[in-house]
Structure 1
C-alpha cells in the first residue's frame, strides 16, 4: 500500500524512544502512566494513607467519647446502674390514714444527716465547684450540701408541716422555709426533665411496678460519709438551728477531725443548737 504524502510510519523502537523522551513508559501488565505525574501519585498516596490513619484513629476514639456513660457523676462516680421498681403505694403513706404512726415513723427514719459533706479544695477545683463555707475542723476543706439529701430534707419538712399543721412565723417550721423547699423541689424536677413514659392501667396507679434505672442511694450515702469527707454533721429536720456550729460536733470514731473538734469544744464548751443564737452561730450556716 502506498503511503500518503507527509505520512511517515514510525518504527516501534522509535515510538518507545519518543515516549520515553516525553515521559511516557509502557508496561504491558498495567495502564499507561505518565512519569511526570509520579509526584502527584506519590502525594495522593500519602494523603490517602494519612486520611485512612485519621479515620482509624477517629473510629477508635469515637466509641470511648460518645458511648453511653450511664449518667456517671463527676462527684461520686455513681451511675444509673441500679434497678428499682416504682411503687404507687409504700410504707411512707397510708391511703386510709394519712397521719398513720407507721408512715410517720418511716419518714422520720430517713437519715438526712449526710447532707453536709467536707470536700477538699483540690477536689472542688477539679470538678468545677465554686467556693463554699469553710469546714471548721480542716482549713483545706469546705462544706457542701448534697442535692439529693437536701431534697429529702425538704420533703420531710413539707410533709411534717402538712401533717401537723404546725408552720408559720411562731413555729419551729417557718412558712418561708416550707415555700423555699417547694421551689427547690420544683427546680429539681424541671432540671431532671424525666421523660419516662409511665403506664396507666389503673386510676391513681400510674407507673406502678415499672422498673426504674437509678443511682444507688446506699452507695451515695457511703460516699458522703467516707471518713475523710464526713462533715461530723447531725441536725433535726423539723427545727431551725441557731448555733449552727454545734451541728458539726458529731465526728465519728476514726474521723481525722475528731481530735480538733474535741479540743475546740473542750475549750469553748457546747451550746444548745436550737437555743438563742450566739456569736459562734455565724461560723457555719
Structure 2
C-alpha cells in the first residue's frame, strides 16, 4: 500500500495563504527612524561634552596651592605660539619690551609668620626688618620670572651689541635654574604637532589660577623693591610692589 501524504491544517482555521511571508518584516515609519537617529546623536554629543567637562574639572586640591594653604579654582589656558609678549615683527618690539619691563618679580617676595613657616617645615629665613615675627620668602614662580627677565634682557643686549645690564654669570645660573624647575615640575601635557614647528599652538591646558597666587602675594607682601645694588634695608619699605605683578592676562 502506498503511504499517504500528511496534510496539515492551520489551528486557527485560516489558510496558509492568509499568513504573511516569513521573509517580510514590519517596516518602521521613516519619521520614527529619523527621531531615533537624532536622539542617538544628541546622546552621543551630551556624553562627549560631559566627558570633556569631567576631564577639565579636576579637584580643588589638585590645582590649588597646597604649599600656601591656598585653595583656588582651575584655569583653562589657550597656549599660543605667539602672544602679546612675543612677535616676529620688529615694528612692535618696543611695545613688547615695555610689557616685559612692567613685570615685577619682587611682587612675589613675601613675609609670613615664623610660626606658620615652621609648621610648614620651611627652612628659616631672614626676618622682616620692621616685624621680626615674620620671615621673608620668595615664591618660586616669581623667582622664575626674575630669572626669565634677566635672560631675555641679556639675550637682546648681546644681539644689539649693548653693554650688559647683568653679568653673564647671572644668566648661567638662570639657565640651570630653568632646567631644575622643569625637571621638578615635569609637565606631562601631550602636545599635538603637524610638523609645522608650532607644536601645541592653540592647545588648551589645565593651569593653576595665577591671579589667586598674585593676590596672595600682594596680601603677604614684604614690600621689597628690586633694583640697583644697595644696602639690604633700602630694598624694604616699598609697598607699591604689593599692588600688582605687572603681568597682563
- TM interval, shorter chain, is 0.5 to 0.7
Q: Deviations over 1:191-211 (max 9, x none)?
A: 111111001125121111111
Taking the TM superposition and a 5 Å limit, the aligned residue runs for 1:96-107 are 96-97=89-90, 100-107=93-100
SS of residue in 1 equivalent to 2:97 = helix
SS of residue in 1 equivalent to 2:112 = strand
Q: Does 1:218 align with 2:218?
A: no
Aligned to 1:159: 152
SS of residue in 2 equivalent to 1:214 = strand
- 2:67 corresponds, among 75, 93, 118, to 75
CA contact (8 A) 1:117 1:146 kept: yes
Aligned to 1:176: 169
Between the aligned partners of 2:181 and 2:77, the Cα distance in structure 1 is 20
Aligned to 1:248: 236
- 2:110 corresponds, among 106, 117, 124, to 117
Distance 1:214 1:98, change over 3 A: farther
CA contact (8 A) 1:99 1:163 kept: no
SS of residue in 2 equivalent to 1:142 = strand
Aligned to 1:15: none
Q: List runs of 5+ in structure 2 lacking aligned partners.
A: 1-58, 243-249
How much does 1:220 deviate?
A: 0.7
How much does 1:177 deviate?
A: 0.9
SS of residue in 1 equivalent to 2:201 = coil
How much does 1:99 deviate?
A: 8.2
CA contact (8 A) 1:78 1:220 kept: no
How much does 1:79 deviate?
A: 4.8
Q: List runs of 5+ in structure 1 lacking aligned partners.
A: 1-66, 255-285
How much does 1:144 deviate?
A: 0.4
CA contact (8 A) 1:82 1:214 kept: yes
CA contact (8 A) 1:117 1:143 kept: yes
Q: Does 1:230 align with 2:221?
A: yes
Distance 1:198 1:68, change over 3 A: same
Aligned to 2:189: 196
CA contact (8 A) 1:198 1:210 kept: yes
How much does 1:171 deviate?
A: 4.5
How much does 1:213 deviate?
A: 1.1
Aligned to 1:14: none
Distance 1:208 1:80, change over 3 A: farther
SS of residue in 1 equivalent to 2:235 = helix
How much does 1:161 deviate?
A: 0.2
Between the aligned partners of 2:60 and 2:81, the Cα distance in structure 1 is 30
Between the aligned partners of 2:111 and 2:198, the Cα distance in structure 1 is 40
Moved over 4 A (4+): none
Between Structure 1 and Structure 2, whose CA radius of gyration is higher?
1
Say how many residue pairs are matched.
181
Aligned to 2:125: 132
- Of structures 1 and 2, the one scoring higher in RCO (CA 8 A, sep 6+) is 2
Between the aligned partners of 1:205 and 1:243, the Cα distance in structure 2 is 46
Aligned to 2:178: 185
